[in-house]
Structure 1
Amino acid sequence: MDAFRIVGGHPLRGTVRISGSKNAALPILFSSLLGGSFSLSNVPCLRDVKTTLLLLEQLGLKISVRPEPLAESKGFDHNEPIWSDLLEISEGTTSPFEAPYDLVRTMRASVLCLGPLLARRKRARVSLPGGCLIGARPIDMHLKAFERMGARITIHHGYIDAETDGLEGSEISLPYPTVTGTENIMMAAVLARGTTTITNAAEEPEIVDLANFLVARGARITGAGTSTIRIVGVERLDPVHYSVMFDRIEAGTFLVAAALLGEEVTIREVESSPLSSILDVLKAMGAEAEIHTGAITLGAIRRPRGLSLRTLPYPGFPTDMQAQILPLMAIAEGPSSVVETVFENRFTHVMEMNRMGANIEIHGSQAMVRGGSRLEGAAVMASDLRASAGLVLAGLIAEGETEVRRVYHIDRGYEAIEKKLEALGARIKRIQEDSP
């Protein structure tokens, strides 16, 4: 099993290109189940992306990747991209409707095949999803919405079985602005008869990217990026080429790395607007960011200030950046606090950071950070995707050597993060956990 070995304290300097967004690419890929053909660029080479492509192949789609067809790729290697920059996807000759446990269990986002399968093939059998241990993330809201649109749904033996005689547009009011729920319903509504209105919809930029892609294919969607989305069903979707948006969580992670250790770090292929809540927090802690066209430059905060924040749905501070901001809070002058409002069980990394010398106490959904800590290298265990990134950032500023284990989590959402950090000057290597 792979691990990262990090020697802390080395300054970062240079430019890093931010990859395409995992959280935008996955729903766009699942929307291929709505039929037709298209091509994508700026798709990140990640474990979750390849899992999605393998699942789509099992569901009958034809996928070509450069430099070779997916079926001929020689297994996944985080150091060797399985495509250069282009995916081509089209319908195959068969139309299976079952998403099996062996693939779905590794990735919660795989539930996004449910809406498109119902809309296009009128039947879906999808294993209940797995993924990171960061809370229940129930899919009841998805299922109730599909029932309002005319689906018949049962759950037994770990599978969701759904069928319909044809989805009908409906008024869907979400009790919580769920991102995957909004995406799933929006995709199902694209081919439904009539008009669907989603209220209390999630407003994340990745939802806007999915809507822009679908509109480019001929869908009729308005309101994406607001709390009310309106979809008028169409009969079919058209071919298109589309470039996936940048990954704002990867961008935020590198901004925090720059705030910790940067002499001067520039992230490029980004836009500042989707990063506003992250930039606001870093500025409140003492960072000075320079905003350019398509790039942001930031250096280390010499005397970071503590502050209090809450994770919130977009446009609030993202829960996916909570673990990464904690190392900066740990070394800040004065106390800080983080209230986690999105997921329960998302402080599993705190115990590991405390082993490195941080002084963080958990009280229910709140992390209280004493500040002024001096982190020391240690062997730590990653528990989920974003926890992995937080521990890597802690290792970058710790005295001595840190070994972050179970980095297969980080490979799910960061494209060659160790190579990007190394290019900036970090001392980080991928090793086998049992290496001497």
Structure 2
Amino acid sequence: MDAFEIHGGSPLCGETQVYGAKNAALPILAATVMVEEPCVIDNVPDLEDVRVMMKILQTLGASVRRDGTSVVVDAGNLRSTNVPADLMRRMRSSIFLMGPLLARFGDVRVSKPGGCVIGQRPVDFHLRGMRALGASIEEKHGFIRCSSNRLFGTEIVLDFPSVGATENLIMAAALADGQTVIQNAAREPEIVDLANFLNACGANIEGVGEDTVRVQGVHHLHGTRHRIIPDRIVAGTMLLTVAATRGKVTLTKAEPAHLGALLAKLKQAGVRVHTDRDIITIECLKPLRAVDMRTAPYPGFPTDLQAPFMAAFTTAEGTSVIRESVFEARFKHVNELTRMGADITVDLQTAVVRGVSQLSGATVEATDLRGGAALVIAGLMADGVTRVEGLQHIDRGYQQLDVYLRDLGAVITRTGAMS
């Protein structure tokens, strides 16, 4: 397997662009199966998860091709509603195909999804909502089959503002008879982007970005062209990397409004932050000051940035307390950070990070996507050489991360497996 070899100690400096959001592109690509005319999706990142979703759509019978940063999907002649199990196990986001395939064809068969092992992420919220819309559910031998002659609008109250369930139910309800009201809906920007795409196709969705979403079902969706929003998690990872290495970088084609919680914490830690429309500039000349942080559903601090945040604050002045409230197994990167000299104590869902003067390079392994990004940040901070293995996880959510960082002055190369 490939690995990153990182020589730490170089501050990141310069200017770079933020590419499209993986977590918006995946459900939007899934939603194209509801449309019987071609759709053009612009600003689609070239990531492993996106490639898997494109392969799934092709296996179902859609015509899918990439043209630069755009993906063209024609699902007019879809011939199957059985999502391949081998592909579904490679990416949890393939569960997004449940709602749109059920809505269009009245039948879908999927396997239990895979993805990063960061804690329990049951599909119960998805299935409960599909049942409320009128679907019958059969779970057997690791597969889930949903079927319905017709979906009917209803009121659904989510126990937790699950992003995936909110998106799946919006897609299913878009072609249902009558109005569906989803209460305690998730509010993430990626959900807004999905709704904007569907509305451009002729759907009638209101209230996205709030905790109550109303979907008036329609009978047909037409093709459209849509541009994916900037990836706030990639932008946040870069901002934390710049702060950790005491650099100065300008991010263009970003969306500062989507990063309010992170920008507030960076300012609290002593980082200079300037925003202007789609531009974010940060500068960090001194060690970070320790700050406390708690993850929460949007607009709170994103759980996807918890691991990069922790890595950046391993050398902060003072002690930071980090509470993970979304996933119960999202501290797997802690052992690898301590291998590099970090002083971190974990008690259930709380991590106490005591700042040390310096991390030291070591061989470490990524076990999940965002934890892998944290190890890269740590390597860029560390004295000496760090080898980060397990790049298959990082490749799922960061597009050519080594090239991206090298353009800003990082000393990082991708190497093959050691003999």
Q: TM-score range by the shorter chain?
A: over 0.9
Q: CA deviation at 1:271?
A: 1.5
Residue of structure 1 equivalent to 2:57: 56
Tell me by how many angstroms 1:86 deviates: 1.6
The residue aligned with 2:410 is 426
Aligned partner of 1:390 among 353, 374, 383: 374
Cα distance in 1, alignment partners of residues 272 and 134 from structure 2: 52
Q: Please state if 1:185 is matched with 2:185.
A: no
Q: Is the 8 A contact 1:105 1:129 kept in 2?
A: yes
- AA aligned opposite 1:336: S
Structure 1 distance, partners of 2:204, 2:182, is 14
Residues 26-425 of structure 1 mapped to structure 2, 5 A cutoff: 26-36=26-36, 37-66=38-67, 84-425=68-409
CA distance, structure 1, for counterparts of residue 356 and residue 400 of structure 2: 31
Q: Quick one: distance in 2 between partners of 1:128 and 1:327?
A: 32
SS at match of 1:15: strand
Unaligned regions of 5+ residues in structure 1, if any? Answer: 67-83
Contact 1:147 1:153 in 2 (8 A): yes
Length, aligned pairs only: 418
1:13 & 1:304 partners in 2: Cα distance? Answer: 17
Render the CA deviation track for 1:17-48: whole Å, top value 9, x for unaligned: 11100000000000011122210110000000
Aligned partners of 2:8 and 2:381 also within 8 Å: yes
Deviations 1:346-368 (A, max 9, x none): 00000000000000011000001
Q: What is the alpha-carbon distance in structure 1 between the residues aligned to residue 85 and residue 15 of structure 2?
A: 41
Measured after TM superposition, the shift of residue 334 of structure 1 is 0.8
Residues in 1 aligned to 2:383 and 2:51: alpha-carbon distance in whole angstroms: 36
- Partner Cα distance (2:21, 2:388) in 1: 24
Deviation at 1:219, TM superposition (A): 0.6
Q: CA deviation at 1:148?
A: 0.8
CA distance in 1, matches of 2:310, 2:359: 12
> Is contact 1:220–1:233 with CA below 8 Å preserved after alignment?
yes
Say which SS state the counterpart of residue 302 (structure 1) adopts: coil
* Cα distance in structure 1, aligned partners of 2:261 and 2:78: 45
User: 2:270·2:284 contact (CA, 8 Å) conserved in 1?
Assistant: no
Equivalent AA in structure 1 for residue 44 of structure 2: V
Conserved 8 A contact 1:171-1:197: yes
After superposing on structure 2, the runs of 4+ consecutive aligned residues of structure 1 that deviate more than 4 Å are none
Contact 1:176 1:200 in 2 (8 A): yes
In terms of mean alpha carbon deviation, does 294-303 or 44-53 score higher?
294-303
- Higher mean C-alpha displacement, 322-331 vs 357-366: 322-331
Q: Is contact 1:118-1:164 (8 Å) kept?
A: yes
Deviates more, 1:377-386 or 1:294-303: 294-303
| TM-score relative to the length of structure 1 | 0.94
For 1:388 and 1:263, locate their aligned partners in 2 and report how far apart those are by CA, in whole Å.
21
CA distance in 2, matches of 1:221, 1:310: 31
State the 1:288 CA deviation.
Answer: 0.8
- In the alignment, which residue of structure 1 is the partner of 2:21? 21
The alignment partner of 1:361 has SS state of: strand
Number of the residue aligned with 2:7: 7
Distance in 2, Cα, partners of 1:255 & 1:11: 12
* Structure 2 letter corresponding to 1:268: T
- Within 1, Cα distance between the matches of 2:363 and 2:89? 28
- The answer to whether the 8 A contact 1:260-1:301 is kept is no
CA distance in 2, matches of 1:331, 1:255: 16
Is contact 1:286-1:301 (8 Å) kept?
no
Deviations 1:145-194 (A, max 9, x none): 10111101010011001110111001000000000000000000000000
Question: Matches of 2:77 and 2:225 in 1, distance apart?
Answer: 22
> How many Å apart are 1:90 and its aligned residue?
1.0
CA deviation after TM superposition for structure 1 residue 292, in Å: 2.0
Question: Aligned equivalents of 1:259 and 1:269: distance in 2?
Answer: 19
* Equivalent pair of 2:5/2:385 in contact (CA under 8 Å): yes
Unpaired runs of 5+ residues, structure 2, are none
Q: Please provide the CA RMSD for this pair.
A: 1.0
Q: Percent identity?
A: 45
